[in-house]
Structure 1
Amino acid sequence: MSQPLLVTGAGGQLGRRVVDLLLAQGAGPLIATTRHPERLGELRARGVEVRRADFDSPASLAEAFAGAARMLLISTDALDRPGRRIAQHRSAVDAAVKAGVRHVVYTSLTNPGPGSPITIAPDHRGTEDALAESGLGATVLRNNLYADLLVASLRRALATGQLVAAAGDGRTGYVTREDCARAAAAALAADFNGKRVLDITGPAAVSHGEIARIASDLSGKPIAYVPVPREALEQGMQKAGMPAEVAALLASFDEGIARGTLDVATNAVEELTGKPAEDVRSFLARHRGALLTPIER
């Protein structure tokens, strides 16, 4: 008999795509949890058991996870106040133990150790620690930055002729959201029951200078990479109307790139799924139309 698989955050882009991939593979039975189950009626119609799970209500989680053998814990978006997200994740790990879940797949961050300047790294490090201490089997997927995020920044760069970042000469193993979903679905449906940490990345790490050249090639427009100090980037984003905490988070990713924290490229996606991860040039070429769409003023 197939083992029941559970996906948290199934209303989000990554979680929903994982469920779709699992359905296409005939995996399951499947359980999808979300804060808003009324929005996932289409999944229920396709045979998925949809349950409400509120990570701010720890007492409710064990019931939400009941019956699952393996669970994908997608890191939450609770970044509004310090400590909230790690508390949610620890509650989810505790509930998984109480519910009898045997293996948890967790979406973490590349190199979340104490040396990371990325402001959300401690949340991921703390969750990895909680899993290690839980006695559960665990697959930690350390997802690198989404290549998908490059589309918006390159649209701005095409409009101005400059790709401005505080990343120095650092390189990043950008990975597409689709490849992260494929890796997560494969890890969740696998028979692996021990503990492992996998770096989920694209096939090669690239610098901002290389990204600017790729975008120039695809658009036919010159783009110069302009490296700036982190403080200047953060201040510029705030002047443009971005909330201070969001600007600090984004700038911390650039500092992480500059320090080499995200300079990791592996073939883990191919090892998990049998298909290589997509590289940055190929991804941007597929989204060339979006890149060239003018920014509305």
Structure 2
Amino acid sequence: MIVVSGASGQLGRLTVGHLLQRVDAARVVALSRTPDDVADLGVTVRYADFDHPSGLPGAFEGAERLLIISLGSFTGLAPGHANAVDAAAKAGVGHVIYTSFARAGEPGQPQALIQNHRETERLLAESGLTFTALRFNQWPEMWNLVGIPAGAVATGVLPSNSGDGRVGHITRDDSAAVAAALLADGGCEGQFVEVTGPAAVTDADVAEALSQVTGRPVRCEQVTDAELASTLSGRGLPEQYVQGWTGLGAYKREGWFDVTTHAVERLAGRRPATIADYFAAHPGVLRAT
């Protein structure tokens, strides 16, 4: 049995879709706090909530492989992660695959959410479970949260505080394809796998991709952290998004996302999408609202 947590979320749904291209639907179980939302997936559905641990061993029962889709936390280890790892051990799960983040295990990581991933990876390593941590690089979908692509196309300027910092952007769909491949076929046991797109790119490269896809000139303009925050605030973005995106630019500038691997080709057997491929496939994110 192959069990996918968080199946009602975007990554979970995509992973189940890719998994069904590799295995029979009868082998797949989708977990969700809202089971009715995944009834259309065509697989067995079970209720599971990482914040209610008593029911988790039953939800994981019979799992040859289990995908734990991570929960966000800016204050250290998410309690739900500890609950899920403990329940997986009690249920005798054969292989746990965890969705982590780029370079999560490296010392000196300045990003608050990384502590959650680092501590979860530590728990898995100490649990006695067979596990794999998929350390996904930044999703290009992150750009959409603050409307940066649409604003850049509309104004012809992509403001950036990331300098020459590079990011190995990987799409959510490519991430799901890798997760599904491991769920179906196994492999990478005990490994921390950096999963990236085909190249690490700068924000200047992103501006060029926007120009290429839209046919409209877009240039990257380097600004200070304070200037970027002021620009985003002027667009009416909530303060948490302003601070989050400004901080992300600083992390890019410091090189924390500058990783490129061939994990997508090796594990999923497909060419990962470039940043230009992503924008071309999602024209809606390039239109100002």
With structure 2 as the length reference, what TM-score do the two structures score? 0.91
Deviation (angstroms), 1:20: 1.4
Contact 2:134–2:192, Cα closer than 8 Å, also in 1: yes
Indicate yes or no: 2:284 matched with 1:290: yes
Quick one: structure 1 residues 212 and 244, their matched pair in 2 at CA, closer, same or farther if it must change by over 3 Å?
Answer: same
Q: Higher mean Cα deviation, 213-222 or 127-136?
A: 213-222
Task: Tell whether 2:80 aligns with 1:88.
Answer: yes
The more displaced of 30-39 and 211-220 is 211-220
CA distance in 1, matches of 2:96, 2:226: 38
Task: Give the RMSD, CA atoms, in angstroms.
Answer: 2.0
CA-to-partner distance for each residue in 1:135-192, whole Å, 9 max, x for gaps?
A: 1111111101112334542111111221112211101001111100100000111232
2:222 to 210, 215, 227: 227
**Aligned-pair distance for 1:82?**
2.8
Unaligned runs of 5+ in 2: none
1:100 Cα offset (Å):
0.8
Write out per-residue CA displacement over residues 195-246 of structure 1, whole angstroms, 9 at most, x where no aligned residue. Answer: 0111111111110011112212322322221222334434544554444444
**Residues 11-53 of structure 1: CA distance to partner in whole angstroms, max 9, x if unpaired?**
001101111111222246111111101212212xx2x221111
**How far does the alpha carbon of each residue in 1:245-271 deviate from its partner, in whole angstroms, 9 at most, with x for none?**
443333332221111110011100110
C-alpha contact (below 8 Å) 2:75/2:116 kept by paired residues: no
CA distance in 2, matches of 1:265, 1:259: 16
Structure 1 residues 238 and 122, CA gap change in structure 2 (3 angstroms): farther
Q: 2:10 aligned with 1:17, yes or no?
A: no
Farther-moved stretch of structure 1 (240-249 vs 140-149): 240-249
1:269 to 255, 264, 270: 264
Letter matched to residue 50 of structure 1: V
Question: Given the superposition, is the C-alpha separation of residues 246 and 60 from structure 1 closer, same or farther in structure 2, using an over 3 Å criterion?
Answer: farther
Q: Percent identity?
A: 39
Aligned length: 285
Q: After the TM superposition, which residues 121-140 of structure 1 pair with which residues of structure 2 at under 5 Å, given as runs?
A: 121-140=114-133
Instruction: Tell me how far 1:64 sits from its aligned partner.
Output: 1.6
Structure-2 residue corresponding to 1:101: 93
Q: Is the 8 A contact 1:75 1:107 kept in 2?
A: yes
Of residues 238-247 and 89-98 in structure 1, the stretch that sits farther from structure 2 once superposed is: 238-247
Q: Which amino acid aligns with 1:36?
A: T
Instruction: Tell me which residue corresponds to 1:143.
Output: 136
Give the whole-Å Cα distance in 2 for the aligned partners of 1:231 and 1:129: 36
**SS class of match (2:21):** helix
Q: Is residue 195 of structure 2 the alignment partner of residue 200 of structure 1?
A: yes
SS in 2 for 1:195: coil
Aligned partners of 2:285 and 2:210: how far apart in 1? 8
- Distance in 2 of aligned mates of 1:62 and 1:242: 41
Q: Which residue of 2 aligns with 1:116?
A: 109
Q: 1:238 to 1:118 in 2, by over 3 A?
A: farther
The Cα offsets for residues 59-110 of structure 1, whole Å up to 9 and x where unpaired, read as 2222221121210011124x4x734x62111111111101111211111111
Q: Which residues of structure 1 form unaligned runs of 5+?
A: none
